[in-house]
Structure 1
Amino acid sequence: MFSKKSNCPVPFDQQPLNEYLALKESLLFSWSVSPNNSFIFGFLFIFIVLLVFFSIFIALFSNINNVSQFFSLDLLFSNCVIFLLFIRLYLGWSYIIKRLMSATVFYEESGWYDGQVWIKTSDYLIQDRLVCLYQLIPFIVRIKYSCISLFFNFFFIYLFDYIF
């Protein structure tokens, strides 16, 4: 699945296309590029597990007697963790998008002290940009919409807590 480019001076692990393929195979990021049904069910599964974990944690270590406060605090903690998860996904994919869309690639030959810059040829640039536009941009848009929905969820939790 990884591609070795013969006329590319960039080390194998630092080539943008190989970085994309490696990130796509990791556990957290593979979930974010899965089909919509799998993405939604994974999101709901993580949300429910966090909801149960934080409800047990809040019940053991706090003395909240009001049920509405208990549920709103539980939802708030769960949403914060999910929001941080989506921020991590967004930052990871945006780094790869920047590397794929750029006409130059910064790489390190043997250590931090000897960095080089390689200018992509037109073949590599076209291939990387097509991969970015047609495979990565839809997933990063989906992550943005998920973050927006979590923001509205924060608003509804605050409204629920304010009313009750």
Structure 2
Amino acid sequence: MATILLHLSLKPRAATAPAFRSPIIPSSKPRFLTLQPIKETNPITKKVSSYKNGNGSNTPPLPETECPVPHEQQPMHEYQSLSTSFPFSWASGDLVEYCSRLFVTGFSFALLIGLPVAWFGSVGPKSEPLKLVLAAASSGILVVTIAVLRMYLGWAYVGNRLLSATVEYEETGWYDGQIWVKTAEVLARDRLLGSFSVKPVLSRLKYTLVTLAVSLLVCVLPLINVDLGGQEGSYTTSKDFGVRAIPGIYNDDSARSFEPDAFCGEPGLP
């Protein structure tokens, strides 16, 4: 009986699936590794960062650091001030804007100054409208020509200083003839600037001067012909009426014909 009870108590248990423990996910935020800056080993970067100025910035020194020329007399500074000053900045701007400004300047001067002066300075303004228009147009073209010539001289001066290998400057208040020879970097930079920025402006101004000279000649020649035609007409009219005097010319014969009492007793008086 005891043997049967022992056999029943040793009955094997049913097989169950193995239990796996689930991983415990912490509720705190995940931690990331801090990124360290990559050290630059480029030799060019090291060379640039090795430059230090007085303020401690990592900028290379300018080529004019060793230049004894005053800042306002350096060609680079002269170019910058000229390209932003009036009216020199017109020549370096857009072509349409440049032409429109010149046209407005000439037309305004011709309308506001040239035309009133020609109107009050002529004897018969209503009878000679072509002469008034030509005189006003000539005055406007002349003013524009003077302005363009002044711009050309200024740009030519700056261009010569940029292209030159030496710079003349005044160290004191009086011109003492100091000369500084440009370094290789400054000379290369100035010549590039003069070749690609100043020379196109000078070419534009040259073409403008030629155009204005032709326009002024076209306006002046008809004006001269009108004046000569008026003088010939007055001379013909005086001959038809038997007057021996030419308008604008004095001689003894014309004086005797108009004032015979002043020549009493002289030979040759009728």
Give the TM-score of the pair, scaled to structure 2.
Answer: 0.56
Q: Report matched runs for 1:5-154 at 5 Å.
A: 5-53=64-112, 54-65=114-125, 66-154=128-216
The structure, 1 or 2, with the larger RCO (C-alpha pairs under 8 Å, 6+ apart) is 1
Amino acid corresponding to residue 159 of structure 2 in structure 1: I
Q: Determine the C-alpha separation between the residues in 2 that align with 1:29 and 1:64.
A: 41
| Aligned-residue identity in percent | 31
For structure 2, list consecutive stretches of 5 or more residues without a partner in the other structure. 1-61, 230-270
Over 4 Å off, 4+ runs? none
Q: Which has the larger radius of gyration?
A: 2
TM-superposed CA distance for 1:61, in Å, is 4.0
Once the two structures are superposed, what CA deviation does each residue of 1:57-101 show, in whole Å capped at 9, x if it has no partner?
322344342111111111111111111111101111111011111
Structure with the higher helix share, 1 or 2: 1
Structure 1 range deviating more: 72-81 or 100-109: 72-81
1:76 maps to a residue whose letter is S
Question: Per the alignment, in what secondary structure is the counterpart of residue 87 of structure 2?
Answer: helix
Quote how far apart the aligned CAs of 1:113 are: 4.7
The alpha carbon displacement at 1:141 in A equals: 0.6
The Cα of 1:56 is off from its aligned counterpart by 2.1
- The residue identity in structure 2 corresponding to 1:51 is A
Match of 2:134, SS state, is: helix
TM-score with structure 1 setting the length: 0.91
Q: Tell me the SS of whatever aligns to 2:155.
A: helix
User: What is the Cα deviation at residue 17 of structure 1?
Assistant: 0.7
**How many pairs does the alignment contain?**
162
**AA partner of residue 105 (structure 1):** V
Tell me, yes or no, if structure 1 residue 160 matches structure 2 residue 160.
no
User: Which amino acid in 1 is paired with 2:169?
Assistant: Y
Structural RMSD (CA): 1.8
